[in-house]
Amino acid sequence: MNTNEEILLQAQKRDVYGKRVKDLRAQGYVPAILYGHKLENVSIKTPDKELDQAIEKAGYSTLIDLKIDNEKATKVIASHPQFNPVTGKIIHIDFYRVKMDEKIKTEIPLEFIGESNAVKNLEGSLVQNKDSIEVECLPGNLVSGIQVDISALKTFEDSILIKDLKVPNGITVLDEPEEVVANVEPPRSEEELAELEESAAEKEKEAIEQMETEAGAEEEEGGEAKEGEEKATDEARVEEKTEKRTPEDTNK
């Protein structure tokens, strides 16, 4: 799926770093870095809402026109986003400069569409072995995603390979052609499910027994060590008493 829409993202240079970037985030900005092509890295900030909109349209494999302050817009690709583990919001991101006449290597996400007969009518389970593919192309040929039509998976013997993907002209796929992208596994029988449950229970039992054995060994080692310490202490006391006895005590 290609997009001819130009995606413009405004940004400003920043001189706030380290722990102080929390203030930027509180003000509605996301700290970022612009790098690439042996040029000096530029620390910038961009409005979080505008960034979300740009990423929603471009993803991480489509060009963005990044305009810093009043400078001319630069063609970039967003990369290495960092997310807040609680809110899921982007808290930092990188932008990589590209040259329109220079090929780049990147990944393009896969978009699974359609309906599989093997899933719908045969009650199989769809297995997505890849969620993106590695490609090489000119920046102008980048697309936001490549569709994978799973309606081709009619039986459990069917599979979709890398070589089966419909990739736009100008894009070279770097993954192995025979690599499986998706297939459908048949439903498990009651016997198989029972065996899996039994196997899981057996493994759990073995794990518990092993833990108990290790715990018992540690207690035994601790007891032996304590007994040894007590014995050594008793011997030391006897030795100490012996050393303190006078010649007169010995003759008694």
Same domain, yes or no: 13 and 93: yes
Residue where a domain stops, chosen among 42, 65, 97: 97
In terms of residue numbers, what domain contains 210? 197-245
Residue 25 resides in a domain: yes
pLDDT per residue of the chain (252 residues) written in tens, 0 to 9: 445 578 999 999 999 888 899 999 999 999 999 999 888 999 999 999 999 999 999 999 999 999 999 999 999 999 999 999 999 999 999 999 999 999 999 999 999 999 999 999 999 999 999 999 999 999 999 998 999 999 999 999 999 999 999 999 999 999 999 999 999 999 877 776 687 788 888 888 887 878 767 666 655 555 555 455 555 555 555 454 444 444 444 444
Residue 158 resides in a domain: yes
Residue where a domain stops, chosen among 70, 97, 124: 97
SS3 215: helix
Q: Computed from CA positions of residues 114, 116, 120, 125, in that sequence, does the dihedral angle turn out positive or negative? A: negative
Q: Note if the pTM is more than 0.85.
A: no
Same domain, yes or no: 114 and 169: yes
Residue 209 resides in a domain: yes
Strands (E), the chain: 8-13, 29-35, 42-47, 64-68, 74-83, 90-97, 104-113, 125-128, 132-137, 146-149, 159-161, 171-173, 180-185
Quick one: how far is CA 167 from the chain centroid?
26
Same domain, yes or no: 17 and 75: yes
As for how many domains the chain has, the answer is 3
- CA atoms within a 13 Å half-sphere pointing along the CA-CB vector of 97: 15
Same domain, yes or no: 68 and 53: yes
Tokens of 65: 């026109």
Residue 123 resides in a domain: yes
